[in-house]
Each structure stands twice: as structure tokens, then as C-alpha cells.
Amino acid sequence: MNYNFDEIIPREGTDAYKLDLREMVFGTDDVLPLWVADMDFKAPPAVVKALEDRASHHIYGYTIRDNKFTSAIVNWLKNRHLWDIEDGWIEFSPGVLPSIMVALHEFSNPGDKVIIQTPVYPPFYSIVTENQRELLRNTLIEEAGYYTIDFDLLEAQASDPRTKIFVFSNPHNPVGRAWNKEELKRIADICIKHDVMIVSDEIHSDLCLFGHSHLPMAKLFPEINDRIITCMAPSKTFNIAGLSSAYAIIADSKLRKRFHKRLWAMQLHMGNLFGGVALRVAYNDGEDWLEALKKYLEENALMVQDFIAKNMPEVGFVLPEATYLLWLDFRKWGLSPAKLRKALIEVGKVGMNDGVSFGTEGAGFQRLNIGSPKSVIGEGLKRILKVRNEVYKQSQY
């Protein structure tokens, strides 16, 4: 089937975070929105149809998620990630961040230390600190735009007896790495050795690009099953983040019971009716759409690469192994992070995620969301080039 990812669908006035929060985030609503991580594409036709059908019933009461829901997940993971799990290992959650929060509360205490790998998705900071845990930054090592893990630092941080949890982003937002087997093995070994629990956020797992594949940590190393919670969702994959439907996979029954009890204690178990429908249909009927989407995203990433190479080769960029989020390095422009941001907003009128919001390591970077029609990405690139020509080249800003 053909899907039209080139279609421009106006989103203004639809309560879309990406559009309607521009004034608050950028101080103006006239920037081209290439920031927050959702896409400007329609969800797969089967999902749209199922939601319309369900909406036409007109009764929207409390909902259950039975084995139709869990078997859609089981089959999806088996087909897409060659991971055999059991229905009973699945715990529903209204989001990946809520899953992480439940795990933090159940498996650590206030004052305990939690490791994250920076620069990273900003809520990883606040979810730790605002829940009164202490943050340990396992800063990633960057070399010519490619990121790897500082294992010596990780080991030192994990060996602190107060370190209880490692919140892991795989594939990583924003650096785009789909971590390989050797890296995962070293993490598993360190966490086993120092008795650290792993909360593995694999929300971007379906979006591996350019021949890379996702390796679920819990699948590779069953020996860590008593210390790993895998958090997944169809939200990024099928552009249904607004439907709040995610899940955690926990093979170990003791761990799972504790997670389950805490989820209920926090009253997070109920979830919304449409989210359940969308997850089930997306996983059962969305594979073809996802393949087409990934192809389109790869074309967009290559288009950015080509444009940068031709027009602004000083901007650092490495094709992502996964995600529709590109991590662009503007450090050679020599602007302070504040000036870079101001110039992009005021001169370029382009709204990307500011690198520093991912941590101090992000100074001089911007995160570009390529989950939009090609014409929109092309326009975004032109606007960035305008900033380059008017601000960086003339150094007058």
C-alpha cells in the first residue's frame, strides 16, 4: 500500500503540543515547529479506522485490556525484535515516563542515586530529582559526532552502594545510538556486579534505521531478568503519543508483582479506552505502514545530510542509527548557546529543541525532528542556512 507522508496536514488549533506551545517555548508562535518528538504524519489507516469505529459507539466507559491487548504485544515483539515473551510479563502503563516513575518509587528510596547517560531526554533529569533521588550523570563520550559509553565512569558510579537504578535510553534520545551487543553486555555485567537495577527505556526501539536493529537488553541477557524492567510503547512508532498507552515487560515474577502493586497504589493502571484500541490495531496491522515510514525517515535523514554537506559543512551531523531525531552540532559557528537559540528563533524562525535542555553536554547542539513531510524539512534547512549566512558568516550577531 502507498502512504502519503508528503501530505501537509495543518495542526494549528488541534491542541498539539508541538504547535500550540510554541509561544511558551520559543517566545513566539511563528517558528517552524521541528521540535517535540511526535510526527506530522497521520497514524496508520487501520488505526484511524479502528478509532473512528470505536468513537462511533458513543459510550466511552472504563476499559479493560485483555489478552487481545497482550497478544498484540507478544506477537509484535516476536516478529519485530525476535523476542519471545509471555502475556503475563506485560504490565500496562499510561506512558513510558509513568513506568519509569513507578520503578523509581518501588525500587529506590529518596536520597538513593540514579544513573542517566547525558546528554539525554530532559525528563530523565526531572523524574529523578523531582522524586528526591540523586542524579549521577554518566556522560557519553563524543568523537566526531559518534557517541559511546564511558564504562569506567559507569562502573565507578554503579559501585557506590547508594546507587540503585540505571535509567537507560536504548535507542538513545538524542544521540541516536542503537546500542550494540557488546555495549549491552558490559552494562549488564556492571549492573549485576554492583547490584544495580536497570530501567531500560526502549520507546524508540521500532525506529532503527539504515540497517541497524534493536537489541532488547532483557532478551539478550536473561541472567539480568531479576533486575530489569523494559519500558516500551507504540507511541513513537505509530505517532499516537497523545493516546497514552505504554507497557512494561518484566519477566521476573517477584519484580513484576512489586511493579504491579506500586502501579495500582499510584492509580496509574486504568488507562484510556482509545489508547488500548490503537495499540492493538497498530501492532496487528501497522507493520507495512511502519516499513514505509522508516524508508521515508531515512530519505529525510539523507536529505539533511546532503544539504549540510553542500551548504554548511561545518555543522556536525552523523546519520542516526535510530529515531527521527537528529542531533546537530553547531559548535563551529562559535555562538554561545543563548545566541544560537536566539538566532535560530529570530532570524531563522525555526524551532528545534535546544541542545542545553538535554544537559550541559548539549551546548552548541540542536535536536531536529525529521518526522515531517520533505517540503517542511527542506524549508527548515533553508531557514537554518539563512541563520548561517546572516549570523555565523557575517559574525554580526
Ligand X SMILES: Cc1ncc(COP(=O)(O)O)c(C=O)c1O
Residues that bind ligand X (CB under 6 A): 37, 95-97, 121, 169, 173, 201, 203, 233, 235, 241, 246
Identify the residue whose cell numbers are 549485576: 192
Q: Could you tell me the end-to-end alpha-carbon distance of the chain, in angstroms, rounded to an integer?
A: 49
Nearest CB to ligand X, comparing residues 35 and 307: 35
Residues present in the chain in total: 397
Nearest CB to ligand X, comparing residues 95 and 359: 95
Dig out the grid coordinates for 317 from the structure: 551531523
Spatial contact of 297 and 371, defined as CB atoms under 8 Å apart: yes
Q: Of all residues in this chain, which one has the CB nearest to ligand X in the complex?
A: 95
Dig out the grid coordinates for 360 from the structure: 550541559
In whole angstroms, give the CA distance from residue 386 to residue 82.
Answer: 45
Least separation in angstroms between CB 297 and ligand X: 15
CA-nearest of 92, 68, 96 to 285 is 68
Nearest CB to ligand X, comparing residues 371 and 373: 371
Spatial contact of 328 and 368, defined as CB atoms under 8 Å apart: yes
The CA-based angle 128-227-87, given to 5 degrees, is 105
Nearest CB to ligand X, comparing residues 96 and 281: 96
Least separation in angstroms between CB 97 and ligand X: 3
Nearest CB to ligand X, comparing residues 44 and 95: 95
Least separation in angstroms between CB 173 and ligand X: 4
Least separation in angstroms between CB 233 and ligand X: 5
Least separation in angstroms between CB 94 and ligand X: 8
Least separation in angstroms between CB 93 and ligand X: 8
Strand, coil or helix: 116: strand
Residue 395's region, left for phi above 0, alpha for psi from -120 to 50, else beta, is left
Spatial contact of 322 and 207, defined as CB atoms under 8 Å apart: yes
- The β-bridge relationship of strands 113-116 and 163-169 is parallel
Nearest CB to ligand X, comparing residues 356 and 387: 356
Please give the backbone phi and psi of residue 147, each rounded to the nearest 5 degrees, phi first. -110, 140
Least separation in angstroms between CB 355 and ligand X: 15
Nearest CB to ligand X, comparing residues 234 and 348: 234
